[in-house]
Structure 1
Amino acid sequence: MCTTRRFTLAALALSISSFNAAAATPNDTAPLGKLPRWALPLAYQLDFRVDPRQSEYSGSATIDIELKQAADHLWLHGQDLSVVKVTLTDSKNQAHAAQYKVAAQKEGVATVELGQTLPAGRYRMVLEYSAPFNQQLEGVYKVSSQGAPYVITQMEAISARYAFPGFDEPSFKTPFTLSLTVPENQVAVANTRQVAEQKLEQGWRKLSFAATKPLPTYLVAFAVGPWDVVDGPQIPATQWRARTTPLRGIAPHGEGERIKPALAQTPAIITALEDYFGFGYPFDKVDLLAAPDFAAGAMENPGLVTFRDYLMLLDANSPANNVRGSFNVTAHELAHQWFGDTVTMPWWDDIWLNEAFATWMQAKITQQLHPEYRADLELINGANYAMQSDSLVSVRKIRQPITGNGDIETAFDGITYQKGAAVLNMFERYLGADTFRQGVRSHIKQHQFANATADDLVSALAKASGKDQRFSKAMQSFLDQAGVPLVETTLSMENGKAVLHLKQQRYLPLGSAGDAKRLWGIPVCVRYSVAGGDAKTQCELLDQAQGKMVLPGATASSWYMPNADAAGYYRFDMARVDLARLTGSLTQLPDTEQLAYADAINAGFGRGDLDAAAVLAAAPQLAQSATREVATALIPTLKWLEKHEVRSDAQRERLTALARKMYLPRLQQLGYQRRAGESQDDALLRAALAQFLALDIKLPEVRKALLAQGDKALEKNADGKLDLAAANPDLLRTALSVATQEQGTPAVDVLIKALSNTSEPAQRMAILSGLGAATASANAQRARNLALDPLVKVGEMSTLLRASREDGEGREALWKWFTLNHEQLIKRSGETSGGRLPDLVAGDSCSQSEADRMNSFFQPLLKQLPGAERGLAQTREKTLLCTALREKQDPAALLH
């Protein structure tokens, strides 16, 4: 009786337990956004078998997981993977059958069906699979350099699911342990140091790498191929890091020597970043890899940072733009080792925490180590560039809610990078540099090797500064709403004091359908003149629709600059008399503020407040500046006038005469060849002026000088190859463009043939730009067709097509070509490029008919192209705004 009773109670307990387990089993559908949190990855062991000479690879992913509740299935990510076997083992080492099934192919969502309900607990899941090498530079992909195949990875944003099955979201940070089985004649590298090597049969070897720090899937990286591995100078120990850190360059075979300049600059960047963050470089090595083809500019994979090859492979003949870009981008990617790699956003709506911080820190480190690069001006130019996009109604917020994979792809834009960096710069000034750094250090330390949100950062800054909720609301007003603030200013004398009256609204271009009523918390700083010729600065937080600021020492005749040091992310509109005084005092402003003044001219023109005559009046004053960025600041607006407003010979002659007067003497003074000991800035100014005057304004004397260089570059040397080094490397792109336009078919023939035997990345970019600049219809068509030819790398396609639109036959011809070839283009470039496609093929359009045809063509493709909806909306809106601005213009204004 007692025995029976014990049995009955045990059976009842088991029955209840089973019932509860069954009841708790999730009954859900395939998650197309975030994965559910009832299954969590704890650690990965990834084993890859890779031979770059093959068309596919194989692998196994061993994932330690925790089921937070009983389940008969779990969700994970996997795309284009052929999973042949799944094994699940519990904590008692008991195996359970499981099956992998694709649940949502387009989103890369899969399910593992467990075959039974398993209780909550820890399990080890092993998935064995194979996959083709990706053709669109995602996941694990294969490219060639000088005929040799290489395998490289690119996992960001959501491409790790092409590489291995897993939980492909940034909030899932775990250690990864990689091994690579490769042919014995291949070099393999990964995020961490190699710790073991095992020789296998049939010419294979297995390389094992140390476990990583906790990482999200998008930072896993490896590469296999006949790489040159070059030791760089070791990064010495510092007060923040007790050990030396090894540094290496990974370059395509035969290119190792050219990666040494990039390696030489890296230790100083690392130590400067450590000093700022107060936190030692946290990974076990630094490898910089020059990828023969790459979708992005670079990628911050910890321990194995990958770059487009032209940024890493440098020598005396490299364009100045590439040399400077190498330092800037290296500083950007290494800044990510703290913001992004050590502390990671939990979801893609906070990707700005990665990219804005890296952009802002890049400028800070570059300004510290290379002040002559004027990273402060680059930061301001970046803000001005972002304001152009931020003026659109269709623009993203910095913290844009993510509703699908397409939103993830389009989050990597000027709003995330340049606007985000400008907002950080503005609030650093508001809090003070030391206080801001204290908040950043606290944030990094508190969330190291974990995840953190924007709110976490704002909280750390508020705590460090002792500021109240007014600061937090101010900063969040820039993060959580789109648009550019417009601050309207008027100076008046009241009771013997100079009072600056302020109003804020949203800046909207002429023709915009947006609502201007919007409030931010704007740290407004004003520089103004006082008696004796001195200047003072006054700052206030403007978080109401209207406000005022007393300017001590100012008089009724004082000039003032509404954005002191151009540190604020806002535009300004001054009372006309105030603007006239500022214009008359322009030479008294630092060049930072002259850039803000130039943006005010551009913004006033875009809003319809200023006409072409006002732009042409301001341009000569800025053009005489000794600072390159200021001297060229209005060139984009002059190009717009040339492209969209010039309708008569008289207008063209007026614009040509003005451009010749403003810029030709400067170009002639610089000359067309490099001079011994000249600055990079002179080289960059020469290139900018030559391109504008030769390809946009088409000055005969400039085209003649560049054609002479282009002709020399197209001559064959003793090896039978083009003598591309005969041209100034900084002008090669423009020289080949002029040669293509002037010589026609012979030049096109030579350049197409040169593509097949030219591997030097900067020269390839110049060749592609030259081909894209072809204006004769047959030659332009041949050039565009190359975008579908394997002769042109996937990452080079946009260079060719953009040149065809801007310097070649123009947007009408490109549009016709695209409508006939869009399926092949999308297949080759990948559907995830959809967000950028409308702008690539229809950017600079300026008519209602172009907007309509763009909309009609792309609408049926939106479901196929993630991110294209936003890309289409923005390109169409820019087209309509351009149309409204063009129709507003008075033809006589260009003749004044």
Structure 2
Amino acid sequence: MQIKTMASAFGTALLFAVTACGVDESDRTAIQPAAVSTVAHTSGVIEEPVPDGLLPANAAPLNYSLQLTVDPRREAFSGEARIRASLQHATRTLYLHGRDLEISEAKALLDDGRTINLDWKQLTEGGVVNLTAEQALPAGELSLSFSYRAPFNTRLEGLYRVDKGELAYAFTQFEATSARLAFPAFDQPGFKVPFDVQLTIPEDQIGIANTPQIAEQVKGDGWKTLTFATTKPLPSYLVAFAVGPFDVVEWESIPETAVREREIPLRGITTRGRGEEIHYALEHTADILTAMEDYFDTAYPYAKLDVIAIPDFASGAMENAGAITYREQLILLDESASVFDKYNYFNTHAHELSHQWFGNLVTPAWWDDLWLKESFATWHAHITLDELYPDGHYLDALFNGSAWAMNEDSLASARRIREPIIHHEDIGAAYDGITYAKGGGVLAMFEEFLGRENLRRGIRRYMKKYAWKNTTAKDFITAITEANPQADGAVLQEAFRSFIEQAGVPELTMALDCGIDGPQLSMSQQRYLPLGSRGSPDQSWTIPACVTLFTDAGPKQQCFIAQGASQNVSLITERCPEAVLPNSNGSSYYRFNLPGEQWQALLQRFDELSTHEQISVAGSVISAVSAGNMTMDDFLAAAPVIAGSDSWRVSIRPRDTIYTLLDHGSTPEQQQLLRTLLAEWYRPRLAQLDALDALTPDQNQYRMFMVSTLALRARDEALLEELTGLAKRYTGFGDDEQIHPERIDANYAYIALLAGVETLGKPFTDLLWKQFLEQQNVTLRERHLQALARSEDPVVAAKLRAAILSPDVAVNEFGYIISGQMDIPEHQQAMWQWMQDNFDAVIARIPTWQKGQAPRYFDSFCSEADAASVAAVFSPVIANYESGPRYLAKSLEKIRLCAAFVERYGNTGS
């Protein structure tokens, strides 16, 4: 699954099953006796322990038969579910999952023909269910049968309804624990079994599921029943179905290959009238999928592939086996789409296709090893795309994402990649930048350390050994170690564990020492912590490290394992190097620090470095000033060098430091000085780009960032006027007041709207709001709403706040208003007060698994007083929301770290 964070978008089995899947219990830090609680009910108190994480180890499913009656035009659906299950010992009590299901009948069907009635009680809000039998259920196999009905969910999880004009659709989103909203289930990833699905739907509608449809029966009275082929073994979170008046685009099947001796039927599914917009996505699917088959040396595991576009979707995309779902704006586009939109499409699509192996074919046994699918899909998508489209800068994006993840990993409250999941409420926190971007970066580091082919050999071994099974981190690390006998296995395993089982960013402080013992590198390591952090630096890692030595004979690379608090490394050069780059190829996951004169020597060679190395250097410069290890004067001397990079991913890094001071720590006079700095850094880059005869797509994206920075932050009036003209043409302002996407380069559409909001005032914002309400295209809606949310007009801001609770703004859209206004210092307090006044209503709109993330909206605050206010509002209730305490701790820490940074560098600029 690819996650849209709330701030930007509004993203084991029982012992019996674990043993059956060959999982080593010695590695299961999170698989332990279930956390328990006692829950009060109107009928009294359930005295027995209630499992709050893993279910007890007595029962396991063997297969499911689901028969659902679904009409998206109604308020509810109904179902018949039968679960073939195995009991290790006789019992009168079973636990499984179901949430907000109205059960009309529950019974156990024994193989000797007996029927035993079951009493159904939902014990927890998270959906733990107690089944009590009227007599003991025998050990062995039996069937659990349920008749039920349930409302369509209104928060984009479980089985939910989406209205588009006069048409209605039903979609599913089950990861991580929302299958229980659609049917009774053992809703854990370690239970991987076949599913048989039948959908009874209106005759004029279309039904989609994980597998091909194999039968259709007209029922009369306007209904039909669709039967789908039995699935391969799946965990409940990968089951999917959809019902509605879809456009179905039958695409050319993906032809057989040397790895796969069959074709794969490929289809695009959209809401009515949008089928042609999915052509671009389908055109590129075969190339990505076959490249992945070649990498794994394993055929695509499923019988067909449907690519499904959903207009209202809480996550970015979801890797349901054979029926992948996406936000419309990520998958519906054409050749004229912006570079950013195309990057998001390719990255998201490749991510979800990679999941068909990482996660679907081989599935984590429990959520503590979520990284075994999300980190891997993040990394693997980028390396696949880089091979297919070498001009797309996908590896640059991978390393850049890893560098940005270090910001979150710098928090004392950061979680580990492999974080133990004890309670159900802990699961949601695993879907963050640590699992995705840090995990992807750590895998890239080990790929560089072992070599691409050596790592691939281990992954192929892992994939073949555990196909259709569940795994833990130990299984993966062992497979990699066994496939790479040339590496020190003990060191390799320790290195893996040191990065996945502890939080934080390593900081390597290096210094060249060219004394009488010959050139050496003096090195120490600790956990990196920024100014104001309350964390402890006393950590160390086992790090695959490589440095580049710049000598008079040319650059030389030297690799070693960094271990312990300090060490000296003898260098492979007789003469003292002129400079040292502490992270060759920028591929290792750490920040570094150097003495002042050695920083200067490195920056003098900045243009000689690869983009990946420049990303590492830029991140380390900014982290040094953020930790107080570099003066602001030294940072301001380094910033123009970084800003002059040929890569926009590197060039824009210093501007965020200036933005923080502009927004939080400077007087009007100092703000003008800061804007002058931005102009001095970035105007030359824009001039260089404008002097080129033609721009590559990446250079055009670079130019957009330069124009945005100079016009909207450095206050370049000529560029602001240019963007305003684009906004008028794009929106038909002062003309026909119709949106004209063809009149503007899509790369500039959003910043043009921002300029129009700033310069044209309320008449323009009124037009944007009108067009937003009329527009069905979610990409255009998103641009309009994000631009409106950044209006500095208090009247416009108040109108938008009122719309947060309006049905005019979709569930996956209203967060743009909150985060947008929190990015405007003048609106922060008004937005925060409105949130307090409407707290319960806002929380009610958020999907259950995202409610705990609500504090992230307010990370833009930057004072101790604001941190105290956020804490006072959220602390009394945050424990009620999934992963809420962790997200609140992170948000409060970010606010306080910003305050500490501004206290050090704001106003005085020291």
TM class, shorter-length: over 0.9
Residue 904 of structure 2 is matched in structure 1 by 888
Amino acid corresponding to residue 532 of structure 2 in structure 1? G
Secondary structure at 1:795 match in 2: coil
Q: Does 1:374 align with 2:390?
A: no
Residue 480 of structure 1 is matched in structure 2 by 501
Does the aligned pair in 2 maintain the 1:396–1:482 contact within 8 Å?
A: yes
Matches within 5 A, 1:34-113: 34-104=54-124, 106-113=125-132
Residue 40 of structure 2 is matched in structure 1 by none
Q: Does 1:571 align with 2:588?
A: no
- Looking at structure 2, the residues matched to 187 and 809 of structure 1 have their Cα atoms a distance apart, in angstroms, of 49
- Looking at structure 1, the residues matched to 903 and 211 of structure 2 have their Cα atoms a distance apart, in angstroms, of 59
Amino acid corresponding to residue 295 of structure 2 in structure 1? Y
Q: Does 1:846 align with 2:862?
A: yes
Matches within 5 A, 1:321-400: 321-400=340-419
TM-score by length of 1: 0.93
- Looking at structure 1, the residues matched to 111 and 489 of structure 2 have their Cα atoms a distance apart, in angstroms, of 50
Report how far residue 669 of structure 1 moved: 6.0
Q: Does 1:305 align with 2:324?
A: yes
Amino acid corresponding to residue 863 of structure 1 in structure 2? A
Taking a change above 3 Å as real, the CA distance of residues 690 and 403 of structure 1, as seen in their structure-2 partners, is farther
Taking a change above 3 Å as real, the CA distance of residues 862 and 496 of structure 1, as seen in their structure-2 partners, is closer
Q: Does 1:679 align with 2:701?
A: no
Residue 874 of structure 1 is matched in structure 2 by 890
Q: Does 1:157 align with 2:173?
A: no
- Looking at structure 2, the residues matched to 890 and 883 of structure 1 have their Cα atoms a distance apart, in angstroms, of 9
Report how far residue 807 of structure 1 moved: 4.5
Taking a change above 3 Å as real, the CA distance of residues 503 and 129 of structure 1, as seen in their structure-2 partners, is same
- Looking at structure 2, the residues matched to 664 and 763 of structure 1 have their Cα atoms a distance apart, in angstroms, of 30
Secondary structure at 1:692 match in 2: helix
Does the aligned pair in 2 maintain the 1:774–1:783 contact within 8 Å?
A: no
- Looking at structure 2, the residues matched to 319 and 579 of structure 1 have their Cα atoms a distance apart, in angstroms, of 37
Residue 671 of structure 2 is matched in structure 1 by 652
Amino acid corresponding to residue 498 of structure 2 in structure 1? S
Match of 2:715 among 683, 692, 698: 698
Match of 2:649 among 599, 605, 629: 629
- Looking at structure 2, the residues matched to 283 and 555 of structure 1 have their Cα atoms a distance apart, in angstroms, of 59
Secondary structure at 2:729 match in 1: helix
Q: Does 1:530 align with 2:551?
A: yes
Secondary structure at 2:414 match in 1: coil
Report how far residue 621 of structure 1 moved: 1.3
Residue 21 of structure 2 is matched in structure 1 by none
- Looking at structure 1, the residues matched to 336 and 80 of structure 2 have their Cα atoms a distance apart, in angstroms, of 45
Bigger Rg, structure 1 or 2: 1
Does the aligned pair in 1 maintain the 2:728–2:734 contact within 8 Å?
A: no
Partner deviation per Cα, 1:484-543 (whole Å, 9 max, x = no partner): 1011101112446321111111111111111111111011110112233x2121111112
Amino acid corresponding to residue 820 of structure 2 in structure 1? A
- Looking at structure 1, the residues matched to 694 and 151 of structure 2 have their Cα atoms a distance apart, in angstroms, of 50
Amino acid corresponding to residue 210 of structure 2 in structure 1? N
**What CA RMSD, in Å, does the superposition of the two structures yield over aligned residues?**
2.0
Matches within 5 A, 1:143-182: 143-182=162-201
Report how far residue 665 of structure 1 moved: 4.5
Question: Which is further off, 548-557 or 315-324?
Answer: 548-557
Does the aligned pair in 1 maintain the 2:280–2:335 contact within 8 Å?
A: no
- Looking at structure 2, the residues matched to 289 and 808 of structure 1 have their Cα atoms a distance apart, in angstroms, of 39
Taking a change above 3 Å as real, the CA distance of residues 446 and 27 of structure 1, as seen in their structure-2 partners, is farther
Question: Which is further off, 457-466 or 165-174?
Answer: 457-466
- Looking at structure 1, the residues matched to 800 and 687 of structure 2 have their Cα atoms a distance apart, in angstroms, of 32
Q: Does 1:862 align with 2:882?
A: no
Matches within 5 A, 1:172-321: 172-321=191-340
Matches within 5 A, 1:736-885: 736-807=753-824, 809-840=826-857, 842-885=858-901
Amino acid corresponding to residue 465 of structure 1 in structure 2? N
Q: Does 1:469 align with 2:486?
A: no
Matches within 5 A, 1:434-445: 434-445=453-464
Does the aligned pair in 2 maintain the 1:774–1:809 contact within 8 Å?
A: no
Partner deviation per Cα, 1:459-497 (whole Å, 9 max, x = no partner): 111111123322211210111111110111011124463
Does the aligned pair in 2 maintain the 1:88–1:125 contact within 8 Å?
A: yes
Amino acid corresponding to residue 528 of structure 1 in structure 2? L
Q: Does 1:403 align with 2:422?
A: yes
Partner deviation per Cα, 1:843-866 (whole Å, 9 max, x = no partner): 121111011111111011113322
Does the aligned pair in 2 maintain the 1:563–1:593 contact within 8 Å?
A: yes
Q: Does 1:503 align with 2:520?
A: no
Partner deviation per Cα, 1:320-359 (whole Å, 9 max, x = no partner): 2111211111111101111100111111111011100000
- Looking at structure 2, the residues matched to 265 and 68 of structure 1 have their Cα atoms a distance apart, in angstroms, of 48
Partner deviation per Cα, 1:123-153 (whole Å, 9 max, x = no partner): 1111111111111100001112344211111
Residue 580 of structure 1 is matched in structure 2 by 600
- Looking at structure 2, the residues matched to 36 and 704 of structure 1 have their Cα atoms a distance apart, in angstroms, of 66
Secondary structure at 1:429 match in 2: helix
Does the aligned pair in 1 maintain the 2:374–2:435 contact within 8 Å?
A: yes
Does the aligned pair in 2 maintain the 1:709–1:728 contact within 8 Å?
A: no
TM-score by length of 2: 0.92
Secondary structure at 1:731 match in 2: helix
Secondary structure at 1:246 match in 2: strand
Residue 571 of structure 2 is matched in structure 1 by 551
Question: Which is further off, 718-727 or 548-557?
Answer: 718-727
Secondary structure at 1:143 match in 2: strand
- Looking at structure 2, the residues matched to 286 and 316 of structure 1 have their Cα atoms a distance apart, in angstroms, of 23
Identical residues among aligned pairs (%): 37
Does the aligned pair in 2 maintain the 1:831–1:864 contact within 8 Å?
A: no
- Looking at structure 2, the residues matched to 874 and 811 of structure 1 have their Cα atoms a distance apart, in angstroms, of 19
Report how far residue 446 of structure 1 moved: 1.1
Taking a change above 3 Å as real, the CA distance of residues 828 and 891 of structure 1, as seen in their structure-2 partners, is closer
Does the aligned pair in 2 maintain the 1:531–1:553 contact within 8 Å?
A: no
Taking a change above 3 Å as real, the CA distance of residues 829 and 610 of structure 1, as seen in their structure-2 partners, is same
Does the aligned pair in 1 maintain the 2:591–2:623 contact within 8 Å?
A: yes
Report how far residue 273 of structure 1 moved: 0.7
Amino acid corresponding to residue 162 of structure 1 in structure 2? L
Secondary structure at 1:739 match in 2: helix
Amino acid corresponding to residue 159 of structure 1 in structure 2? S
Match of 1:414 among 433, 436, 444: 433
- Looking at structure 2, the residues matched to 677 and 150 of structure 1 have their Cα atoms a distance apart, in angstroms, of 45
Report how far residue 725 of structure 1 moved: 4.3
Question: Which is further off, 233-242 or 415-424?
Answer: 233-242
Amino acid corresponding to residue 560 of structure 1 in structure 2? V
Residue 22 of structure 1 is matched in structure 2 by none
Does the aligned pair in 2 maintain the 1:78–1:110 contact within 8 Å?
A: yes
Secondary structure at 1:792 match in 2: coil
Does the aligned pair in 2 maintain the 1:531–1:554 contact within 8 Å?
A: no
Does the aligned pair in 2 maintain the 1:42–1:174 contact within 8 Å?
A: yes
Amino acid corresponding to residue 471 of structure 1 in structure 2? L
Amino acid corresponding to residue 761 of structure 1 in structure 2? V
Secondary structure at 1:123 match in 2: strand
Taking a change above 3 Å as real, the CA distance of residues 807 and 739 of structure 1, as seen in their structure-2 partners, is farther
Report how far residue 410 of structure 1 moved: 1.2
